[in-house]
Chain A
């Protein structure tokens, strides 16, 4: 699936719920299902600090695709992290750099990504792209 297709799937999944609580319950479930990050990566080097919640993000590059594992200390944040990973993992660096993330806005979670929320999510997206740029640079 392309990045666009994955995003559209998420939007469709969330569109089934009108009620906020249902949306958040889905996020909580997604957060619980997020594949566990290796504890050795839950360290400062991989920490993206926000003032509300913390996010750890670890990239692996096999020379072709980048995959991510991540975690957060807040479950709702972890749910959104899970969505971001769904969209961004196992992609080429170029795909990641070019990604336009529109799904967050469409599913009504934009407030979680605003720069002042400081929950680390916006920094996480930025960090994913920075990793992609760094891996790209290494290739050249």
Chain B
């Protein structure tokens, strides 16, 4: 693995100052910073070969289309999907789940059917299903979590039934950091032929994702959380599902033949890509995936584990600080609360020290309700963070405590 200083030099924003203090960026769960190669790739699109994809016969359109399709192939290889037809670009994880919830609902869901989610889900993996359930008369069933913030598998097994149509769970909790036992969840669902969607928004950037091994039916993630540009996401679906499901948006490029009487749809994956896609961001994402591969996904996982252990140890020594989410298996995200100090106050003061953390419910209110709290402070780390930054956070928290004492 590259030296940490070399890695940090790849990310220009990491050397900036905030309120005159060196930036400590611990909000990687919300969005990650971008390495130069990604910035250059997007810049290059607009400077050298911008043209709308799949449209023109001209040179620039061809070049853009080719780069866009190469990006799709990069994504396919990165997640080890079977076919490029199974990789659909979207606006992000939220866009992907909304699309699947709509299309899957239209095709397969009727009144009384059930969708299983976990208590750890981000609102993006709750609300689209609620909307679909309301439309189709279906019901949500929720896998509970224990005090450590882990899903209770025995309860999950009890929820699986002949009414279950789909299981949709996150790879890792954005609010607590818990990594879910996907193997067990997928195997159990598949044993009764139920498809599984994995929300990889907090998973793919932290290690190796091999869809052939994981064998989920749908996998979704956001480009901007894996060092790529905002506004691009991925919807992977096994061909057997995607070929049966109807499109979730109509428009240009997704059609085969249009008359006012009837429209037939284009083949996969284009059937799901209506209108002009965010091709510069897709090309930027491909560059981000290359970057992650060069750094090394196994090395990233090892380094982030080290940071997690160090940060957990360091923060645990602070009196009055309680960590929520104490699973053995976690991504490098630590959610905590300081006794008698509101998370908003903590976040505001840390901000003034140049430390970026997330505060509040993290778009996961059911998780907060489970612990009877109205929010936490969340430090989400990644491989470009350092132990020195964790020390800065710990010192910052002590300062917060002294100010609000």
**Interface residues in chain A, defined as those with a beta carbon under 8 Å from any beta carbon in chain B:** 20-21, 24-25, 28, 51-54, 73-77, 112, 119
Give the distance to chain B from A114, nearest Cβ to Cβ, in Å: 13
B403 at the interface (CB under 8 A from A): yes
Chain B residues with Cβ under 8 A from A73's Cβ? Answer: 342, 374
| Contact across chains for B360 and A75 when beta carbons are under 8 A apart | no
Chain A residues with Cβ under 8 A from B260's Cβ? Answer: none
**B352 is contacted by which of A21, A51, A54, A77 (Cβ under 8 Å)?**
A21
Number of interface residues of B (CB under 8 A): 17
Chain A residues with Cβ under 8 A from B342's Cβ? Answer: 53, 73-75, 77
Give the distance to chain B from A27, nearest Cβ to Cβ, in Å: 9
| Contact across chains for B403 and A24 when beta carbons are under 8 A apart | yes
- 10 tightest Cβ-Cβ pairs between the two chains A and B: A74-B342, A74-B344, A20-B352, A53-B344, A52-B344, A74-B345, A76-B345, A76-B348, A75-B345, A52-B360
Chain A residues with Cβ under 8 A from B345's Cβ? Answer: 74-77
| Inter-chain contact total with CB atoms closer than 8 Å | 42
Q: What would 20 A/B residue contacts be, using CB atoms closer than 8 Å?
A: A20-B19, A21-B349, A21-B403, A24-B348, A24-B403, A28-B403, A51-B361, A52-B344, A52-B347, A52-B375, A53-B342, A53-B344, A54-B374, A73-B374, A74-B343, A74-B344, A75-B345, A75-B404, A77-B342, A77-B344
Which B residue's beta carbon lies closest to that of A72? B342
Question: How long is the Cα–Cα vector from A112 to B348 in the complex, in angstroms?
Answer: 9
B359 at the interface (CB under 8 A from A): yes
Question: How long is the Cα–Cα vector from A77 to B347 in the complex, in angstroms?
Answer: 12
Which A residue's beta carbon lies closest to that of B21? A20
Chain B residues with Cβ under 8 A from A76's Cβ? Answer: 344-345, 348-349
Q: Which residue of B19, B345, B403, B404 has the most chain A CB atoms within 10 A of its CB atom?
A: B345
| Contact across chains for B360 and A25 when beta carbons are under 8 A apart | no
| B349-380, CB < 8 A from A | 349, 352, 359-361, 374-375
Chain A residues with Cβ under 8 A from B359's Cβ? Answer: 52
Chain A residues with Cβ under 8 A from B352's Cβ? Answer: 20-21, 24
Give the distance to chain A from B242, nearest Cβ to Cβ, in Å: 35
